[in-house]
Amino acid sequence: MNRTTLSALLSVIAAPCIAAVAEPAGISPNLRPAAEEQAAFVLNAQGVQVYACRPRANDPNAYGWSFVAPEATLAEGGATVGRHFAGPTWESSSDRSSVKGAVRERQDGGAGNIPWLLLGATSTATEGRFAAITSIQRVATKGGVEPTAPCDASKVGEEMRVPYTADYYFYKRK
């Protein structure tokens, strides 16, 4: 093998490995991010959706479960890499960068599952894992729906924690 061939081979081997992230299956067109965005990475969330029993805004004599916040760990390749909490916010364990989301679109998640979402994203960091994130998709949800347990005046203020899992796709500009 000549020096040029060996040098070319070593540069390929030493190059950082960048894996393409495939688009999630089953999403509707309105859940797709803008054409100028591309998937940067995917994290799996496992945790709970927290609901509180509260009086209804339009009728103080009626009660219902109100969504409070998610509480979940974020994993990649089986290792915990962050957390997901109120805001909604996603935060990296290693560099403490974070991103907040605001719902832009929804898609039914199926019976017993919270909806799939497309969220606009605002990164709170200039460096780190969540820097420059522009959109987030929540897909492949399991569980997390509003409790079916009774909510009445005697339970006002009580919280229910409903288990859920989801995949979160994080997008950046191309």
Q: Would you say residue 160 lies in a domain? A: yes
Q: Would you say residue 125 lies in a domain? A: yes
Q: Residue 157 belongs to what domain range?
A: 37-173
Residue 30, token pair as written in the block = 């309105």
Q: Would you say residue 99 lies in a domain? A: yes
Q: Whose CA is closest to 18, among 46, 39, 47?
A: 39
Tokens 């500009």 found at: 173
Q: CB–CB of 72/82 below 8 Å?
A: no
* pTM to 2 decimal places: 0.86
**What pLDDT, on a 0 to 100 scale, did the predictor assign at position 125?**
83
pLDDT digits (tens, 9 = 90+) for 131-148: 999 999 999 999 999 999
Q: CB–CB of 151/63 below 8 Å?
A: yes
Q: Would you say residue 149 lies in a domain? A: yes
Domains in the chain: how many in total?
A: 1
Q: How many other β-carbons are positioned within 10 Å of the β-carbon of residue 135?
A: 21
Residue 165, token pair as written in the block = 């899992």
Helix (H) or strand (E) holding 161: strand 159-173
Q: Would you say residue 107 lies in a domain? A: yes
pLDDT band at 10 (very low <50, low <70, confident <90, very high): very low
Q: Would you say residue 158 lies in a domain? A: yes
**What pLDDT, on a 0 to 100 scale, did the predictor assign at position 4?**
39
Q: Would you say residue 86 lies in a domain? A: yes
- Helix or strand or coil: residue 9? helix
Q: Would you say residue 24 lies in a domain? A: no
Q: How many other β-carbons are positioned within 10 Å of the β-carbon of residue 11?
A: 9
Q: What percent of the chain has pLDDT over 70?
A: 89
